[in-house]
Amino acid sequence: MAKKTRKKARQPDDAAKNAHILGAGEVVHQPVTETMEKNFMPYAMSVILSRAIPEIDGFKPSHRKILYTMYKMGLLTGARSKSANIVGRTMQLNPHGDAAIYETMVRLSRGYETLLHPFVDSKGNFGKAYSRDMQWAASRYTEARLESISAELFRDIDKNTVDFVDNYDATMQEPTLLPVRFPSVLVNLNSGIAVGMASSICSFNLREICETTIALAKNPRHDIMETLLAPDFIGGGQILYDRALFEQIYETGRGSFRVRAKYTYDKESNCIDIYQIASTTTAEAIIDKVVERVKSGAIRDISDIRDETDKSGLKVTIDLKRGVDPDKLMQRLFRCTTLEDSFSCNFNVLINGSPRVLGVRELLLEWITFRCGCIRRGVAYDLEKSKEKLHLLEGLAKILLDIDKAIRVIRETEEESEVIPNLMIAFGIDKIQAEYVAEIRLRHLNREYILKRTADREQLRAEIEEMQGILGSEGKVREIMAHDLREIAEDYGRERRSEIIFAHELPVIEEAPVAEDYPVTLFFTREGYFKKITPASLRMNDQQKCKEGDEVAQAMEAGNASELLFFTNRQQVYKAFASDFEDTKASALGDYIPARLEMEEGESAVCMVVTKDYSGYLLFAFENGKIAKVDLNAYATKTNRKKLIKAYSDKLPLAAMLALQADGDCVVESSSGRRLLFHSGAIAPKTTKDTQGVAVMTLRRNNHVTGLRSYNEGEYQSPNRYRTKNLPAAGVLLTPEDSGEVQMGLEL
């Protein structure tokens, strides 16, 4: 009871405490629009202005903070520093986690290979932009410093060329923009997703951009298509050029163009080596897509694909089947994989704090305005410093008239605070000049020192006049900018990496529609009837209807996109696809293959082979005991041929055929009842289809081979009885146990 009493006694105290919290416990009804305005809009504006959209200098805030931190660390000319140290120092400006800062630095680095002109000189594993599996090492293992081109980002930054603001805790200052000397906003790839808007800016060749900017500074109506050919990517590739399309992108800042991979063909190895891909994809994505198309049966000309990327660079190798045209295959792969991909342009840039989608011309004109402003501010800073220096030298020149008087004035002044006023009165100079004179060391109070210091007055006056002329002339400011651009193009310019090809010159490959692939069961009868039945239909009725005297010779599960090879009694093979035949039922007779495939008169199909990739072997058993082993790939053709001649040897009568996916045990039978168990690997495969093969079974007179089939494990009680060490062999008769015969005995 005492405990309950104490609990009730505390309740008034808690209520009294909550009474002091304004609005505590009240349900407030607030309109959705007001909530969005107060909570969501500030977040959206923060993402747009401070995170995702680049500004006119070409950088997002995160990029700018990292580069400025490295500049203040002395990494422009000094040795490399541990990346972890750089990340830690950047946290003074960037209130984010170390992982986000390090990832941003990686994307600015040379090692990552995403920028045409990287700003960070990296050492160690920084990953690769063209591979999703090659991840960068931890920051404690890598080192970095600024690239030499980064000097053009910070030139004259200490001359009030850009504004500085306090960092997030007001302990230091950082620049709002960098006084870049070239249009980095268009030189390097840049993309970002904000709230309700995004930005995607492709990269251009530095020399072409500098030349175009100089031309626009002289003539804002300059045709930029003449000097700015097309985008350029560090990954190279081929840009499919359409002038009308690029005119639209240059004018509006929106649109997309196609970039395709570059490859070479190795004739000796019969493989394609892909060494440049679009910046919008990765090697793994390409491999996955190609594998998917091969598995679906859409592409049948590839035997293997693998990633052979190493320290020398990107390399994806595609092994081709025999007789495949590499150029035609690549044209098909361009259509159905990311070996050819589109780059969507959205030139959304922050201009004076407002996001604007600009065309190339407008964007470069805005940059010219920004850069001219930086030049004026830098010249105004130098002008002010020169005026201050000239003012001091003018005061020093007056002392030249009577140095002894200056010494006497200082010596005879009783109080230190009176030295400056007395010098001002004695020589007619102002306080700043008097302060400068009073600070001169005693050893410098000689005529030679003073003459040397005052001899620069005429040069200073000329420089001041020149700087005043620059500030008063827009043309001179633009000439300085043009001079800087010429220097940068000469020092850092490179040849184009991306090749330009005209879209209308590309060959057009007509690709047959891809059939839907789904499970089916295929049946082939001795008389040559073929049926394709789905599993659902087969479950309803599995009793196959055949013509009188006919029976099912082959039944196998396959896919609807499988390819069918029908071998005939005239040593020919006819090709078809399972998708060419309609799904039927068990109660139907099926399609008569000789008529359906338009075989010759008197020609009949003796065997059906089903394949998707032409892997495996075919065994042809002839009546005289020879067996020919032919690689199934020998029947693959690069053209859509429906008929092949000389499918097997016509020198000997064919007894049986057997298709094998891989080598294994086989049984050959003779008319005398003998059986021979052998491994197909003992027979060397041939690429010549009409080979006569090798002797496998020795036969007595009037005997011949009657059959060939795969051995089923456990079929014979003593399999070794039917094996032989050497081929050819005569084989042995079946034992009563293996033949199924029962021996009769006497009953007592």
What CATH number does the domain containing 246 carry? 3.30.1360.40
pLDDT digits (tens, 9 = 90+) for 194-228: 888 899 999 999 999 999 999 999 999 999 999 99
β-bridge pairing 143-146 and 120-123: antiparallel
In a domain, 149, yes or no: yes
In a domain, 405, yes or no: yes
> Residue for token digits 């005997």?
703
Instruction: Name every residue whose Cβ is closer than 8 Å to that of residue 504 and which is 6 or more positions away in sequence.
Output: none
Strand partners, 204: 231
* Share above pLDDT 70 across residues of the chain, in percent, rounded to a whole number: 94
In a domain, 17, yes or no: no
Tell which of 306, 331, 363 closes a domain.
363
Q: How many helices (H) and strands (E) does the chain have?
A: 23, 33
For residue 86, what is the domain's CATH number? 3.90.199.10
Strand partners, 522: 532, 556
In a domain, 28, yes or no: no
306 and 225: one domain?
yes
pLDDT digits (tens, 9 = 90+) for 488-530: 999 999 999 999 998 776 766 555 556 678 899 999 999 999 9
What mean pLDDT value characterizes the chain?
A: 88
Which residue spans within 130-202 are E strands per DSSP? 143-146, 164-166, 173-175, 190-193, 198-201
Question: How far does CA 483 lie from the centroid of its chain?
Answer: 36
In a domain, 746, yes or no: no
pLDDT of residue 509: 59
Strand partners, 656: 621
Number of domains observed in the structure of the chain: 4
Dihedral of alpha carbons 12, 13, 16, 22, sign: negative
538 and 661: one domain?
yes
Residue 82 predicted with pLDDT over 70: yes
Strand partners, 657: 620
Cis ω on the peptide bond leading into residue 355 (within 30° of 0)?
no
Q: What are the distances in angstroms from CA 447 to CA 90, 397, 411? A: 51, 10, 19
Q: Which helix (H) or strand (E) holds 46?
A: helix 41-47
pLDDT digits (tens, 9 = 90+) for 473-491: 999 999 999 999 999 999 9
Q: Nearest 10 degrees: CA dihedral of 14, 19, 24, 30?
A: 160
DSSP collapsed to 3 states, 288-348: HHHHHHHHCCCCCCEEEEEECCECCECCEEEEECCCCCHHHHHHHHHHHCCCEEEEEEECE
For residue 726, what is the domain's CATH number? 2.120.10.90
Q: What are the distances in angstroms from CA 225 to CA 104, 230, 344, 349? A: 33, 8, 19, 21
Instruction: Name every residue whose Cβ is closer than 8 Å to that of residue 136 and which is 6 or more positions away in sequence.
Output: 106, 111, 112, 125, 126, 127, 142
pLDDT of residue 704: 92
628 and 609: one domain?
yes
pLDDT of residue 540: 84
354 and 375: one domain?
no
Domain that holds residue 83: 59-179
pLDDT digits (tens, 9 = 90+) for 261-286: 999 999 889 999 999 999 999 999 99
pLDDT digits (tens, 9 = 90+) for 534-588: 988 888 887 888 888 889 999 999 988 889 999 999 999 999 989 889 889 888 8
Q: Which pTM value belongs to this model?
A: 0.68
Better pLDDT: 416 or 624: 624
306 and 451: one domain?
no
**Contact, 567 vs 648, CB < 8 A?**
yes
539 and 487: one domain?
no
Better pLDDT: 743 or 435: 435
244 and 329: one domain?
yes
Tell which of 363, 382, 406 closes a domain.
363
708 and 587: one domain?
yes
569 and 714: one domain?
yes
614 and 724: one domain?
yes
In a domain, 39, yes or no: no
> How far is Cα 656 from Cα 623, in angstroms, rounded to an integer?
8
> How far is Cα 233 from Cα 236, in angstroms, rounded to an integer?
5
Phi, psi for residue 502 in degrees, rounded to 5: -85, 130
pLDDT of residue 19: 53
Better pLDDT: 674 or 745: 674
* Share above pLDDT 90 across residues of the chain, in percent, rounded to a whole number: 55
358 and 383: one domain?
no
In a domain, 655, yes or no: yes
Mind telling me the catalytic residues?
A: 141
In a domain, 202, yes or no: no
pLDDT of residue 746: 32
pLDDT of residue 740: 65
Strand partners, 607: 567
CB atoms within 10 A of CB 592: 17
Helix (H, G, I), strand (E, B) or coil at 382: helix
For residue 405, what is the domain's CATH number? 1.10.268.10
Q: What is the largest CA-CA distance in the chain?
A: 160
270 and 375: one domain?
no
pLDDT digits (tens, 9 = 90+) for 379-435: 999 999 999 999 988 888 887 777 788 888 888 888 888 888 888 888 888 888 888
pLDDT of residue 8: 46
Tell which of 163, 179, 195 closes a domain.
179
